[in-house]
Structure formats: structure tokens, C-alpha cells
A and B are shown apart, each in its own frame.
Chain A
Amino acid sequence: MKVSLNWLNDYVDIGEVSPAELAEKITRSGIEVDAVDDRSEGLKNIVVGYVLECSKHPQADKLNVCRVDVGEEAPVQIICGAPNVAAGQHVVVARPGARLPGGIKIKKAKLRGEESHGMICSLQELGFDGKVVPKAYADGIYVLPESAEPGSDALAILGLDDTVLELDLTPNRADALSMLGVAYEAGAILSQEVKLPDTSHGETGDPASGMLNLRIDAPEANPLYGAKVVRNVKVGESPDWLKARLMAAGVRPLNNIVDVTNYVLIEYGQPLHAFDYDRLGTGEIVVRHAGEGETIVTLDGAERKLQPHHLLITNGREPVAIAGVMGGANSEVHDGTTSVVIEAAWFDPASVRRTSRELGLRSDASTRFEKGVDPNRVLAAGERAAALMEELAGGEVMAGTVLFDELDKEPVRVTVSPDFINERLGMKIPFEDMEKILGRLQFPYEAVNGLFVIDAPTRRGDIAIPEDIVEEIARLYGYDEIPKTLPVAESIPGGLNPYQAKRRVVRRFLEGAGLYQAITYSLTSEKEAQKFALDTAPVTKLLMPMSEERSTLRQSLLPHLLEAATYNTARQAGSVALYETGSVFLAEGADGLPVEVEHAAAVITGDWSGSEWQGSKRPVDFYAVKGIVEGMLDLLGLTGRLSFRKGEMAGLHPGRTADVLLDGERVGIIGQLHPSEQKARDLKDTVVMELNLEEVLRKENEPLLYRPVPKFPSVSRDVALVVTKPTESGTLESAIRSSAGNLLKEVRVFDVYEGDKMEEGMKSIAFSLTYQDPEHTLTDEEVTEVHHRVIEALEAEGAKVRS
């Protein structure tokens, strides 16, 4: 909402308060002022000129040589390129030394050999937005009324001696979508009365109802409809003050009739519509819902297909307007209009909102109707428009209003105690101060038994409950006055729950291991959504995606992490290591929502660990990532319950992929990217993992208890085995563990060899076994006995002990 302070001053005395100060006060007490636009800023030495003569420039077709009276003894010569310049016009002249917006300085100049003492200005050159400039002057200079005195300051005539405040309104403050609403707000802030506009006008002897019939077929959607008829209007240009105010408010002037409806809309916040009575054709207005397949061509020339719940204004035969949204082209006021019907109505906000949204058609009218207009201001706005049409278009207002009125206009009664207000705020505002604030707000109230009984004015549709009064009192008393305290209550222990605490442990571990945390988008394309998913589930799709790329919820974190890896490798040398924790979204659960599971995933590509100059840098391999998974689960106390088996997944190397099992259940996957996948993504060798983090973190581990540090030494025995190549070390390790019994403390693979010194199809794996007894020092015989059992078990698995 753009608020011209000159205009606002009609209703409330701003007095000596500077625009900046007023803006600050308004912002601090409720409505954010986005900008304070001093419209005269940068404008200097701009006067009224009268074009005495105008002839073609001898050297240039498109230029005119004008002799202009600028209020001095002798006229001055000004070269003007505007197509619409002509002798006899009053124009805006920027004299030499003048300044225009954007820091432009006007100097004496020679244009193709002819001297020019200044510039005749268009409105755009004076800083007006092209969108608000009247169409007649859109491509040329602006022409002032004949009353303008040559040599006088042109800024006042153009309304540029003004400051405009731009208000950023929250949805609850629709009351401030009007000059009067802003006046009440400013009045409350400055403790000033509000003067209402003059709505008085003359009336003809004939009643309006003699010319117009009214029928409302949809009283729920349109409980109030008032129509005034104004005869014998002369359609023409509006006076400068009116045009200037509309332009200041961001509205393009059109003609005096339409300008009046727009002016009153801004003044009262009540949208009005003017129909050409003769074009209406039937002397009748019927408000009804649209029929199946009905259409209307709106003022903007577009044909709109209507639905049966859209409310229409009709002439009894065909639609002439979409109620509260936009008028129809067929009944539009035009230059030849002589009689006008002014519509002042109240339409159901939800209905207007729905219609406007469905038709993709927003207007100044719909914006206000859908937030609810003041029921008690509807008819006053109609009278105001009639008065202005009488004054500005020479119209005769027919007696009375053709009216349908079933609208509840009663104010909402709110009862609230001063104690409640102070308790909620944690303040001690005196009763008298609260009374003063209610007075400033012009909220009628009574103090009954120490309670405020307030009749909230209908212009403030946002006031309905005691808490609303708390806010009104607080904002005008000043939020700076609220003390700073802390909640007085039994203190509740805060903190992370075990799940959240363990999640932090996991993140810190992954970062400590050298991975950077990524955060990627949850939405992806349908094609990518199921890639690398641990479990297959139906996808969750948006009803109306903004693009195919972001249409479906992901089921794996890996596709976007891999994208991030490619992005990074394309921009820097070396390796990338990223991880992410985040939700994946699987098939619909019992409660109608998708099953949302938190996963952790990692991508490592290129080199991993080591030092380049020491020659120890190595490309990432499966085991690097497996080590990370093992380390992470060890940190969560789950080592003993973790196992791995050969796995498979589309997009991963078939020989280098493992399922991660926890308590025998698959909770994740580790694998090298399939070579074709690597190539497609422009990546070097890349290893990924993804875990169902939720499953992992939900596992309770053993309580952390001290175990005595061994008092007796341990004994190590190594065993090197020759086995067939496909034999998994895990199988051998299981054989060792199950045969060794309690004395075995640790098994470790310390060497694997598959080179040419081995027999074809064979490999060597060497284990180091550690034996220990907590009660005594083991004897050689005891160890040998156990170790023999182990070797027998290994041989039973087909392993040969290497000498």
C-alpha cells in the first residue's frame, strides 16, 4: 500500500512530524514501512511553461523548436523531441540548472545547431513509473491544465511535493489497505482525530429505483448490494489533483468516472464498480452464480471460462462482471457514457478468493474483498463516489440507493480484564493508560466492574479475542517497555534424546574420518527417485511439481550426493569425500503419510588418505569405506552385531558390493560404483555407502561397564593359510572363532597374497590369533592345544596351512 502523506493529511493532522519519523513510529507500532519515497528528491528548478510557438527543427525531422513562456520577460527557445508537443500547451519545463531523477542535470545545449534552454518533460522523466502514466501521455510530454501559471513551480501540480510511504501489510491488517485505515492507525499513534471524507451530494427528484431493478440470487455470497445511479455525466480527464493522487498510489488515471471509483477504493478500502447504464441495457442487475460453461470477456479483453461456484453480476440476461474480481468489457464506461451505475457491495471473502485464484485473476478489488472489507463502510463509499461524480463529471445523482442488505454489521464485543493484559505481557500498565490507548484507537468501550467491554470497530476485522486487545495495548504502549524476564516454572531438564545424541556422534565421526557434510535436496526427478534405494517402495510424487527435476521424493541419498561429487570434481583437482544424513521417503504408511526414514550416506571418489609427497596417497577402495562403516558402528557399540556379505545393487560393481547386516538384518550397502556409472558421472573410482541410520541408531547397545584390565600376558600365534580364491576370510574367521573357545581374544588378518608365487586359483591369507586367560599365564601346552583345534577346523574348511 502506497500512502501519499499529502493525501493522508486530509484525514489526520500529521502536523510537524517528519515523514521519516512517522514511518519509524508506524513501523514500531504495527505496520512495517518498507520505503519512504520523497518524490521531490533530486528535482529542482522545474516550472510551468506555456508553448507559444512550435515549429519543425530545420535540420532534424523528429525535433521541434519551441518558444516557451517560462514566466520571464522574454520567452526561451527549447528543442523538444516529443511527438505530442504543440503550441498552446501548458507543459513542465526543466530549466538550465534543473535536476531530474537519476542525478540528471539540465544545461543549455545546442541541438543540431539550435539552442535549447532547458527541456520539456514527460512524466517518466520526472520519475513517474511508466505503468501509472495516463495512456495519452505515455509516449510524449505531459500537458498541464490551462490554469497553470507559467514560471510557477510545477511540482505541486504534479503532486511531487509529497512523500509516499510504502507499507508492507501483514494479512491481518487489511484495514490499512485504505487511506482511512492508515489515518486511523496514524491517528492512534499520534493521538489525533480522524476527519471523514465529505459524502454529501445533491439528488434529483427521481429515485434510482425507478431506473434500476436489483435481485440477489446468492445472498450468502453477496449479502449486501447497493447501487447508485448517476445521470448526465461527462466522461473526460480527471483534474490534476485526482490524477496526481492516483499516480502516487500506483494507479494509472483513465477517465473521471473510473478514476473516482479507484480513488474511493483507495480512500475507503471499498472496491466499487461503475457500469455504463445504457450498455447494461436491461435496467436490471441480478447477482447469481455462473451457469455451466458460461463465459465472460473481462475488462482486460480476456475471455474467462466460469464455474458454477463463481459469483456473477448480470444484467438479468448475461454476465456483466465477475463479482468482486473484475468488470466485463460489455458494460464498461467509455467516452460516450452518460449514465452510470455505481456498485457498492460486500462479497464473501472466501468466494472471491477462490474465484480469483481459479481464474488466475487478481485485482485491487479482489485483493481487498478476499481479506474482508468493512461492512459499515460499503454504502458510505458509494455515496462518496456519487458525490465525486457530481463534482468532477457534472453528474446528477438519482435519489436513494437501490439496496439489498442482509449483512450483519454488528461489531464484535470483546471483554478483557486489565489484569489479563498485564499478566500476558508481564507488565504493570496502569488502567488509565490502557483507557487512553483504547481512546486513541477509537475503540468504543465501557469499563464494567473493572473489565473492558469493547465493541471492536468493524473496520478492524482482526480484533476478535482478548489476546487481540493485549496486542493493541502492547504495541501502542510500546514493546520497548516490556521487561526482560525468564519463565518462572519448575525447571525441566533439557537435552538431546539418545537418538539425537548418537546422530551427532555419527556426524562427528564421519567428519573426523575426513568427510564433508553435504545437504542436498529431498525432491528429485521420478527417474532418479528410486536409484540406489535400499528397499524398493512406490514413489511419493507432488501433485503440482514446479519441474520434473523436483517432482518426486527421494528414496536414497546417493543420487544427489553423487551429483555433488561430480560437481566438485569438475571444479577442483583431487578427491571428494561427502556424507549426508537425511530422510528418504518410502511407500505410504498407515497414517496416510509416506514412511520417512533417516539415512546416512557417503561418497568418496579419487584419492583417499595418505600424503602425496610421501608417496602414501592411495585411491579410495571398498575397504576404506568399509572401515568407516565399521568405525562408526563400533562407536555406537554395535561391533559384535555387525556383519557383511556379498551384495548387489544396480549401479554398483557386482564384485565389489556388500550388504551391511546388523543382527543379521540388512541395514545398508557398501559398494564401488559400477564402471559404466562412473563413466556416465564423469568420476574416477568411487565408493559409496548408505545406511538406514534410523535402524542403526534405534538399536540399544550394552551398558558401558568397566572390564578388568588383563593381569596376565597374552600369547600370539600366526597361521598362514592357502585357500581357493573365492574363499572368504569371513568364513575362515568364523571357523577360527567357533573352534578356539574362550581363550581366543582377537583374530586379525595380517596378510593376503594372490600373486604369481601362488598356485593357479589359490591365494594365501594369514591370521594372527591372540590367546589370553584372565586367571593365569597360559602355558605353551595350553596354547598349542587350542591352536591345534583351530588348525583342524581350518583344514576342515579346505584350508592348507602354509609352512
Chain B
Amino acid sequence: MEQQLNQLKEEALGAIRSADSVRSLNDIRVKYLGKKGPITDLLKGMGKLPAEERPKMGALVNEVRGKVTEVLEARMAVLEEEAVSRKLEAEAIDVTLPGTPAGTGNHHPLTRIVEEIEDFFISMGYEVAEGPEVEKDYYNFEALNLPKGHPARDMQDSFYITEDVLLRTHTSPVQARTMEAKEGQPFRIICPGKVYRRDNDDATHSHQFTQIEGLVVGENIRMSDLKGTLDRFAKKMFGEEREIRLRPSYFPFTEPSVEMDISCFKCGGEGCNVCKGTGWIEILGAGMVHPNVLRMGGYDPDVMSGFAFGMGPERIAMLKYGIDDIRHFYTDDVRFIAQFHRAEG
């Protein structure tokens, strides 16, 4: 019987070694270790043995079964792993094929610039104020120290709808409206919006364009506050290493009035094509709110003062991104807009 057992063991182990699939190995398991298998038969036949041989044979059978099971499990593990590998291999994909597109739209570059400016000034405690694009002459001109007949409000430059209503030529009427609404209280606002002027559309002119203006009114607002504010804005928008300079200028609604230049972000001030060799780039106009404007807005210029500034997001976008033609902003060519999707930094 012992011999029979050993032969059975060798036979089983041989079969296990030559098994090449999980399935054939399972067949082997059933064949040798199953309820109807030879080992089970041998165990069942133990009763026929003399009592003294039984323990020895029992141990022997268990040993053979244990060995066969062990080898079979080990082989099974190998074959299973091979099977998984084959499956994974079969499932392999071409990872260089394009991904399924996620939503791919993005904002317009002007919105990008406007929101960047809004967010900076919001962080400095400004509210965002808006107003109508079709305005009364009063808010667009008169309340801004541009009485009728003033040389700076040439009829040729504006789109009038009636004698007293026009498409606003700047976002400044929002300043006048805000002063009225705030009823003498101090405030800080930033006003973005569309404006319209009688210009033929070409590479540098557009009859519709965007402006963003800021206005701070309070007690003892100084020109140095304007300069400090603009300096931080320039550094935030164009880089920490930017310097600003103020040049005298003229706007009817501010006195003194200035234009702000920043040191060229392309050449750093050496002179290049962006700054036309000067090292400086004109960015915005600003000034201390004219006392007439404060007065008309219901503020006593002896008690309150303020500063205002205004700029063109188109110009800033053109400078920042190197865009050469203002008409790109209004052609809505997706090949243009889609370039402004990604984060910077």
C-alpha cells in the first residue's frame, strides 16, 4: 500500500508539473484530491487494515495529500498569475491616443483682464459698480465737469440717440451715479464696462471697447494714495519688478491729472519695440477728483477728496499678450479666444 501511495504521489506531482492552465490543474485537483479520487479511496480503505498499521498509514496518506495539495496550490498560484498577466496584456490600450475631451470652453481675454483687475481692487476693499451703457448726457458729461460746449466733448466723438441720451463714451458716468447713490459716504469702487465712440474700426480703434475705472472718495484722500495704489496695481498686474512714473496730463474730471507709465516689462527699461525705445509704457490716466465733480455728486470738496483712474482692458491685453490688432477682440474667432484658457504663473 505504501508503494501504491508513493506511486500515486509521483503520478500526481508529475501531472501537476505538466499542467499548463488553471483549468487542467483544477481537473487534477478533482482527480487526485476529490471525494472520488484515489487518495480519498485509500483513506476509505484504511478500515480494512490491521489496527496497528492504521496510524502509520493514516499519517502517510495525510503526508501525501499534504504534499500534493501544497505543490498543487503553488502551481495554481503561478498559473493564476500567468493567467492574469495574459488577460492584462490582452487588455492593453494605446495610451497615446487622445483623451476623451472634457469641456474646453474658456473666457474671452477681455473678461480675463477685467476680472484680474476687479479681483485686485476687491482685495483692496473696492466694490464693483456698474451702470447703463446708454446714458444721459448729464451723467456722461455734465456731472463730470464737461458742460455743454466744452471742447473735450465733441459731438463727432459720441453716438447720440436723442439730444440728451447717448451711448456712454467712458465708464465715468458710473462714478457720477455712485456718488449720488452713496449720499456723501466714503466709498471705493471699480467700474468695468463697455463704452462707445465714433471711430472707424481699424487695427487700433474700435467703435465699441471696454474701460475699467476706479474711484475712491473719502476724507483726506491724497495724491500719494493714488500713486501708492497704482504702484501696487502695476506690480500685481505686470510683475513685482515694475516701476511706475506719473506724467502730468489733462482730464476735465480730475485736477491734477496724470498719466501713468510702467517700466517696460519686455526690456525692463532698456528700450525695445514694445516701449518704442523709451523704456516706459503708458498704461492709464488718473488724477484727483475735480472739486466740481465732487460738488455735483453731493460731496463737499472742502471736507472730502478723492482719486480716480481709468484704463482700457484692450490696451492692457494687447500689451500683456502681444496682440497686434484690436479687432481680434470683437471678431470672436475661436482660434483667438481659445488661446486664453490657461492659468499663468
Contacts and interface: CB of A to CB of B under 8 A. Distances in A.
Given A171-B152, A519-B329, A572-B335, A494 B124 contact: yes
B248 A610 contact: no
Interface stretch (A129-137, A261-269, A590-598): A590-598
B334 interface: yes
B162 interface: yes
A629 B123 CA distance: 32
A582 B105 CA distance: 18
B127 A495 contact: yes
Interface in A501-556: 504, 507, 510-523, 540-546, 550, 553
A540 B246 contact: no
B196 interface: yes
A479 interface: yes
B188 A513 contact: no
Interface string B255-268: 11110000000000
A756 to B, nearest CB: 33
B228 to A, nearest CB: 4
Given A465-B255, A467-B291, A29 B125 contact: no
A512 B231 contact: no
B105 A170 contact: no
B97 interface: yes
Contact of A494 (B123, B149, B333): B123
A422 to B, nearest CB: 9
A32 B188 CA distance: 30
A92 interface: no
Interface residues of A, number: 96
B223 interface: yes
A485 to B, nearest CB: 4
Nearest to B111: A517
Nearest to A514: B103
Nearest to A574: B334
A546 B223 contact: no
B27 interface: no
B214 to A, nearest CB: 11
A359 interface: no
Contact of A479 (B225, B246, B338): B246
B41 interface: no
Given A425-B224, A479-B245, A517 B207 contact: no
B52 interface: no
B106 interface: yes
Contact of A567 (B130, B198, B258, B333): B333
B101 A611 contact: yes
Nearest to A495: B122
B305 A424 contact: yes
B187 interface: yes
A803 interface: no
A467 B288 contact: yes
Given A492-B187, A492-B188, A611-B101, A543 B160 contact: yes
B24 to A, nearest CB: 39
B332 A564 contact: yes
Among B208, B245, B291, chain A packs the most CB atoms within 10 A around the CB of B208
A583 B198 CA distance: 20
A497 B255 contact: no
Contacts of A427: 223-224
Interface residues of B, number: 88
Residue among B125, B200, B219, B329 with the highest chain A CB neighbour number at 10 A:
B125
A775 interface: no
B334 A485 contact: no
Interface string A458-480: 00000001011011001100011
A611 B100 CA distance: 5
Interface string B162-197: 101101000000000000000000111000001010
A28 interface: yes
B151 interface: yes
A232 interface: no
A488 interface: yes
B203 to A, nearest CB: 17
Contacts of A371: 151
Nearest to A582: B194
Interface string A482-502: 111111111111111100100
A353 interface: yes
Contacts of B97: 613
B225 A486 contact: yes
A504 B161 contact: no
Contact of B110 (A496, A519, A540, A542): A519
A483 B249 CA distance: 19
A578 interface: yes
A426 B111 CA distance: 34
Given A29-B248, A483-B224, A543 B161 contact: yes
A491 B125 contact: yes
Given A493-B125, A542-B161, 7 more contacts: A28-B245, A357-B155, A474-B248, A583-B133, A585-B134, A593-B135, A616-B100
3 nearest A-B pairs in the assembled complex, by CB-CB distance:
A426-B224, A426-B222, A170-B250
Interface of B: 97-101, 103-108, 110-111, 115, 118, 121-128, 130, 132-136, 149, 151-152, 154-156, 159-162, 164-165, 167, 186-188, 194, 196, 198, 200, 207-208, 216, 218-225, 227-229, 231-232, 245-250, 255-258, 288, 290-291, 305, 329-335, 337-338
